Amino acid sequence: MTGKGIGPIAAALGRRGRMTAVEEFLDADRRALAERVAEIFRWIFLVVLLILNNFGGVRFAGAQLFVNAILLAWAAANLVITILLSRGLKPGPQFGLVTMVGDILAGAALVYFSNGLTSPYILALFLAIIASAVRFGLYFSVLCAVAVSFIYLFVGGTAPSLQDFTVHPQVGLEALGRVFLFLVVALVTGLIGEELIRERRLAISRAAQAEALQQMSSALAYSLDVNDLFEVVLQQAVRITRAESGALILNTGGRLQLAAYHGRGGRSDKAAMAKGDALIERVMETGEAIHIKGDNHPYHELLGIQPPLSVIVAPIPVQGRVAAVIRLSHYSQSDAFSDQQFFLVNALAGSASGPLANSLRYERKTREAITDGLTGLLNHREFRHRLDLEFSRYRRRGTPFSVMLIDLDHFKSVNDSMGHHHGDEILKSAGDLVRRTTRDNDLTARYGGDEIVVLLPDTDQDQARSAAERMVAAVRRNQIPATPARDLTFSIGVGTCPGDASSADEVLMAADQALYFAKRSGRDCSASASQLTRSFLDDPKSLLNEIAESGPQMVVAIARAMDKLDPAGDGHSSRISFFAEALVKKLGRPEGEAELVRSAALLHESGRALFAGGAHLDRNWQTDHPMMDEDVVRRGRFLPELVEILRHHHENWDGGGSPDGLRGHDIPLLARILGVAEAFEAMTRDGATLLEAVDRLTEGSGGAYDPQVVEAMAALVGEGERLAAILRTPPLRVQRALEPAAKS
């Protein structure tokens, strides 16, 4: 809470303890005031004593010259003090001791050279006592008075001598009376000074605390982060009270949650705070703060076996209910918290009420924006955002991740036979079960009407398959009645990056196709994309059958299998699909076209993989390859536009391509895009740098390639970041590859 505009005490509060800061501030202030008072009184005394010695008719044989010398020396010393104070000197304790000793020595010398015990210069000794009371307080002023009394009796005893006390008892009584007066003046000035300091300390402390509360309230008014708010409020409460431990417990629908903690009790104390106690529950119920001192209170039985000696529990109300509680404890002192501190903690809790309401409202709105209203799981949009973040993490660190897509078996029949309300309850139960069964760092979302998706960070293919099998077993074990005749079961598909996919979109498609395979296998089971790919590899003929039967629903699995069958594959179909999709988006084409060209890229060498089996192909391969691709995809239920893309993606802009010799805009745009993407991928795979590949495309622009598409690819290379994502290459490497172009 320190910063511009905060007073010295409030600023000190942020660096040290509250009481320490106040004491240091007051001590320095008191010393400065004492020196200023002593300086003023010293001038007054000097003027009065000079007048008495020279013009007042007070004469002491042979002493006038010595007294004037002492007074002038004293005045010179006081002039130095006046100059130092006027120039901003902040006197420390040593400075006060030196000036006090100087005052005592000057007064003793005046008494010695004047009339002894009856000397009128005894006033100089009173100056030392009064100034010491202001400088150092009551106890030091009494000690100073005792020391001054001994000095007074010693130096004053020279005229008359100490023997004269018995001869002249009146003189002795007057001397003792002056000693008594020394002590009385010390006590009175010391007590008055202590009371004034106490009142000033209290006023400054209250002002500092009020200022700190105001600063905190101003800061919290613009804070919407609940966690930051809790930390600030608790830190301020602990700072105000100097509590040994403190906690801020949030009331979330009747369930207590430890939101912030401070203390020396370690893990066990923090765990106990998290569970709450009877005192916290009492304050939650009644809304009234509790202040406990020692064991003489009605709440002793609520504090447990080893209770703290001092406790403050203060509620933070929000809209008529207790939204949170501040609990402060002190284990070594029974009266650690004063009534004033109790009042301040309550004021602090009250000032946090408004900001807490704003933060909770903001958090609720934020949560509603990213969660599904029915199940409380993440919604589809937020899941896609988290999936993209996880894929970015994979690109940076190489850590695998998996996606588990869960379908509620026969859910449509549940809605039809039992009604939509019952269907909603089944969905909520399913979401709750999935959330309980997954790990804390897994992300669960509602993906579609009756589908739930789980993002599994740091999870490879084997771990993901095991998680899916546990999920299938868990729903069987819970026996959730979907209809009177059947319990709820799950069908689950699993996809893993990088094992089953090379992009965030592909891993979702892989999981979806594995789910399709699980449902086709009888439901109430799980399947992984890697299992599906292996089944195709074990029986390549089944791949053609799968294309004919499933078509678009198995694109990623089919493409993965064909990459495995083709020795030149090695995932290059995925890279081509990335380039093609990026080009479609760069050219501002609709999203549907991006989906279409992605599928075409994944299937663009299906003929080579299936008909040629990956063997060495003759020189007619480049001519026959598009028609072989076309022949494969015509067997499935693919869109005619996709078939057209595959047939014409080797046509040239100038009409010199195959198989139909189309030219210019007669070639479908998506086929032209796929042709450029395929060429660019082949160039970079063969070792060309990004700039070299762009240069080669530019050389072929207007001949083999559409100039507009080549220009879009050059722009992608210039952007660097997007191309790094496609190539799974760190952006720095892309930037370095572009440096020669920048220099030229």
Ramachandran angles phi, psi of 334, nearest 5°: -80, -25
Tokens coding 216: 């905190």
| Closest CA relative to residue 359, chosen from 428, 279, 259, 488 | 259
One-letter amino acid identity for 89? L
- Residue 436 CA to residue 428 CA, distance in Å, equals 12
| Closest CA relative to residue 33, chosen from 143, 131, 145, 106 | 131
Tokens coding 236: 């301020």
| Closest CA relative to residue 124, chosen from 67, 62, 170, 63 | 67
| Closest CA relative to residue 629, chosen from 610, 616, 613, 614 | 610
The 3-state DSSP class for residue 282 equals helix
* H or E segment to which residue 206 belongs: helix 169-221
Q: Kindly give the residue spans of alpha helices, DSSP state H, lying in 244-338.
A: 266-275, 278-286
- Residue 436 CA to residue 457 CA, distance in Å, equals 17
Q: Find out whether 597 and 584 touch, Cβ atoms under 8 Å.
A: yes
The 3-state DSSP class for residue 447 equals coil
Ramachandran angles phi, psi of 605, nearest 5°: -125, 30
Q: Which residues of 474-497 are buried (b: 16+ CB within 10 A; e: fewer)?
A: ebeeeebebeeeeebbbbbbbbbb
- Residue 166 CA to residue 592 CA, distance in Å, equals 123
In this structure, what DSSP letter does residue 39 have?
H
Catalytic residue among 103, 450, 512, 524: 450
Residue 56: other Cβ atoms inside 10 A: 12
| Cβ-proximal residues to 567 (8 Å cutoff; 6+ apart), any chain | 614
In this structure, what DSSP letter does residue 666 have?
G
Secondary-structure percent of the chain, ordered helix, strand, coil, rounded to 5: 65, 10, 25
Q: What is the 3-state secondary structure (H, E, C) of 639-689?
A: CHHHHHHHHHCCCCCCCCCCCCCCCHHHCCHHHHHHHHHHHHHHHHHCCCC
Active site residue 339: no
Which are the catalytic amino acids? 450
